[in-house]
Amino acid sequence: MERSERKLDENQKEITLVYTDPKTGLQVRCVAVEYKDFPTVEWILYFKNTSERPTPILENIQSLDTSLERRSEGEFLLHHSKGSPNSPTDYQPYETPLGPKAQKRITAAGGRPTNTDLCYFNVEWPGEG
């Protein structure tokens, strides 16, 4: 893995992570921007074949697969929004409690990235989030 950082301005830092599979030549580059004035990180993944051979088929790519652990009492609360499947409730906000062993998938469907869910979310827990 290669890692680099650069300051974009007083409130933004860009972090680049590059992973290259020596067997297939597949390279995955993650470019993230961390905001110091707001609790947000944005990232984009790039895929590149650095080999002479065809890359194996890429599928079931998950840009975030994480587990959260409680450090205090109370439940996690996921703030997220419906996407735009062309209905009267497009972009409706939701609050979903995440109890023990809960799972929530934020996904795309129908060939559009916001057809089912918006990809923006926030996790809240007592006193933080």
pTM metric for this prediction: 0.65
State the pLDDT confidence band at 96, using cuts at 50, 70 and 90: very high
Q: Return the closest-CA partner of residue 78 out of 124, 126, 40.
A: 124
**The pLDDT of residue 81:** 94
Tokens 């975030």: give the residue.
64
For every residue of 57-89, DSSP letters joined together read PP-S--S-------SSSS-EEEEEEE--SSSTT
